Amino acid sequence: MPNFFYNEYKDQLNLFIKNALSEDIRDGDLTGNACIPEGSIKSAKLYVKTPCIIAGIELVEKIFKFYDPSIKFNKLINDGTRVNQSSTPFIVEGNARSILATERLVLNTLQRMSGIASITNNLKEKIKSFNTVLLDTRKTTPNFRYPEKWAVKIGGGSNHRMGLFDAIMIKDNHIDYSNNLEDALYKTQIYIEKLKPKKIFVVVEIRKVFEINKILKFNWIDRILLDNMNVNELKKAVRLIDGKFKTEASGGINELNIIEVAKTGVDYISLGALTHSSPYIDLSLKAN
């Protein structure tokens, strides 16, 4: 898989690596320094103990080399590959102290990202016959958002906005803090007019079907988010919107009902569960 995600978010991912290594190692790995001779050269293999969609291979190579550029990384399996138990995605060779110092961050990253990629791939497969895009959300782990959203992409999903800085998303609390839905939209319209020619992507959340009629005149909206609606409400909303806006279903969606939701004709389905409820995949880095 081409490394487009890393290239786009290189600064943020390098900052994650730097901070994560500092958090764990600080001035040095006391155990490794105590037990391992300074110049010892060893190798280790990554073993898959649970079948999954492997994710994070590209990132952990950068973790190893960020800590110790002399480490040799032999990638045997690419990100996004479905792997079986006992598969060996990579072999790493170099200073034994460096391998041991980075081992836990490497495993934590791989286990988390592979879990996200696996659940994303499972749900994406369920709706592959529909013209529906599977999205993540901002329900991510603080300071680990970029790897988590990278894992969603590896699993076949797409990214919603990366943060508060790259799109406007008017949600229930924004509306409740304003006088009403229309008031929030009029204020937003004034705000985005001031930012021209910069184009700001705008998503508006509605909780009831009748609210659609209130926003049809705001043709600058890019997408309507249909929040916590049942299948019948979604069908009614899609008919009423009639292609005037892109539609997104969110809230209460899982592997049991995602196909029925996709059948309603919504353009997007977003699930916080892709990141906040994914399993950790059992992986192990063992001396070779």
Tens of pLDDT along 144-197?
999 999 999 999 999 999 999 999 999 999 999 998 999 999 999 999 999 989
**Tens digit of each residue's pLDDT (9 = 90 or more) over 42-83:** 999 999 999 999 999 999 999 999 999 999 999 999 999 999
**Rounded Cα distance, 95 and 265, in Å:** 55
In this structure, the number of other CB atoms found within 10 A of the CB of residue 49 comes to 12
205 shares a domain with 241: yes
Give me the chain's average pLDDT, please: 96
Residue 265: predicted pLDDT: 97
Rounded to two decimals, the pTM is: 0.95
Q: Please give the Cα distance from 99 to 94 (Å, whole number).
A: 7
Other CB atoms closer than 10 Å to residue 121's CB: what's the count? 21
Match 């032999």 to its residue by tokens: 74
61 and 169: one domain? no
- Write the CATH number for 156: 3.20.20.70
Residues 162 and 108 in one domain: no
Same domain, 191 and 221: yes
Q: What CATH number does the domain containing 113 carry?
A: 3.90.1170.20
- Interatomic CA distance for residues 104 and 165, integer angstroms: 32
Whether the CB-CB separation of 247 and 264 falls below 8 Å is answered with: no
Same domain flag for 82 and 146: no
The parent domain of residue 8 ranges over 4-118+279-287
Residues 99 and 135 in one domain: no
Same domain, 56 and 144: no
Q: What angle do CA 242, 185, 159 make, to 5 degrees?
A: 65
Count structural domains, the chain. 2
CA distance 57 to 71: 15
Q: Same structural domain for residues 103 and 231?
A: no
Q: Residue 3 has what pLDDT?
A: 76
pLDDT per position as a tens digit, 13-23: 999 999 999 99
Integer distance in angstroms from the first to the last C-alpha of the chain?
27
Residue type, 137: T
pLDDT in the model for residue 1 = 47
Please give the pLDDT value at position 2. 52
Same domain, yes or no: 101 and 181: no
Q: Kindly state whether residues 136 and 164 are assigned to the same domain.
A: yes
